[in-house]
Amino acid sequence: MDALNTINNVFLIIAAAIRSLFADPHSVWANLTMDVIDFIIVVIIVVLAALILILLERKVAGWTSQRPGPNRLGPRGWFQTIADALKLMGKEDITPSGADKFIFKVAPMIIFSLPMMTLAVIPYGKGMAPINIDLGIFYFLAISAISTVAFIMAGWGSNNKYSLLGGMRAVAQMISYEIPLLFSLLGVVMITQSFNLGVIVEAQRTVPFILIQPLAFVIYIIAGLAEVNRAPFDLVEADQEVVAGPFTEYTGLRWGLFFLGEYGNMTAVSALAATVFLGGWQGPAPIPGWVWFWMKVGIIIFFMMWARWTFPRIRIDHLMHLAWKVLLPLSILNIFLTGLGIYIYRLVMGG
C-alpha cells in the first residue's frame, strides 16, 4: 500500500523536491518555476498525444479494414509518425500569393495553443492539476470555443474558395454543437454545485457520473466529436467536398501544427469526458490515479477513432437537425430531469 501511494504521488513528490530547492518553497520564484515546468509538461503531453494518436489512428484504420496499418518503420511500424514529423519539418513553407498573410500565419498557432491551454486545467491525478481554478469547466469551454475563430481565420486567410467554404462550415457546425456540449455538462455541475474539475472528480468517489447522467454522457460524446471535427462530423475538412477545407493551402510545419492541434483538441475533449463523467483519476482497482486517468482517456479516444472508421460523413442539413432538433432538446430535458432529481432528493433527505 505504501509503495502504491508513492507511485500514486510520484509527480507530487518530484514537485515538492523541486520546490524544496528554493530557500522559501512558496516564494514567487518557486511558483514561477513550477508554472514553467507545468507548462512544459502540458506541451509534452500535447506533442506526445499527437505522435501516438496519429499512429494509433492509422493502426485502427488499418485494423478496421483488415490491414495491419503502418508496419515498416521500427517494431511493427511504431516509429512511422516520427518519420512523418521529420518529413513535415523538411517541407517547403508556402504562403499563397493572394493570402492574408498575417491571418494565414497566425491561425495554426492559435489552433495549436488551444489544447495546451485547455489541458492545463485537467486534474491528471490527486492534486495534480497544473492549474487549479474554480471555473475549470467554464474556462475549458471558453478556450475551446476559440478554435472556431482559428478555423474561419485559416479559411479566410487562405484566399481559396474551398478553404472559405470549410471555414464557414466550421463556424456553423462548431457554434451549433457548442450549445448541447455545454448543456450536457450542466447536469454534472448542478449535482456537484461546482465548476472546479478537481471537486467534480472528488464527488465521483463512489459512483462515476456516467451512471447518474448517461444521457448527458452520450450527448457530450456526440457533440464532442462534432466539436473536434472528427468523422462522422468532419464536414469542415471533407476531402471529397472542400478538398481539405481550411487546411488546403497549408504546407509543412504549419499544416503539422493544425494536425497537432486537432489531436490535442481530441485529447482535451476526451480528458474532459474522463474527468467529468468517468471519474477522472478515481477507480476501483489499486492502480495509480494518473494511470486510471490516461486509461479512461485512451478508451474514449479509441471510441472516437472506432466511430470515425465506422460511420460515413453526415449531410450538412442532417448535422444541423441533429444539433438543434435532437441534441439540444435532449440536453435541456436532461437538465430539467437533473433538477427534478435534485429537488426530490432534497425533499426525501430533508436537505
66 binds another protein (CB under 8 A): yes
215 binds another protein (CB under 8 A): no
325 binds another protein (CB under 8 A): no
Of 53, 60, 181, 238, the residue at the interface with another protein (CB under 8 A) is 60
78 binds another protein (CB under 8 A): no
Gap between the Cα atoms of 63 and 256, Å rounded: 25
Cβ closest to another protein, residue 39 vs residue 303: 303
65-81 residues labelled b (16+ CB within 10 A) or e (exposed): eeeebbeeeeeebeebb
Cβ closest to another protein, residue 11 vs residue 309: 309
Cβ closest to another protein, residue 31 vs residue 310: 310
309 binds another protein (CB under 8 A): yes
Expressed in angstroms, the distance from the first to the final Cα of the chain is 37
Q: Which of 307, 283, 286 is nearest to 294 (CA)?
A: 283
Of 37, 146, 307, 337, the residue at the interface with another protein (CB under 8 A) is 307
Q: Which of 162, 308, 304, 332 is nearest to 247 (CA)?
A: 162
Of 64, 132, 194, 251, the residue at the interface with another protein (CB under 8 A) is 64
Gap between the Cα atoms of 329 and 219, Å rounded: 11
Grid cell digits, residue 258: 493544425
306 binds another protein (CB under 8 A): yes
By CB atoms closer than 10 A (0-12, 13-18, 19+), residue 172 is middle
User: Do 163 and 248 contact (CB within 8 A), yes or no?
Assistant: yes
Of 94, 134, 239, 311, the residue at the interface with another protein (CB under 8 A) is 311
CB of 184 to another protein, least distance (A): 17
Cβ closest to another protein, residue 91 vs residue 325: 325
Gap between the Cα atoms of 205 and 105, Å rounded: 45
Binding site for another protein (CB under 8 A): 60, 63-68, 71, 306-307, 309-311
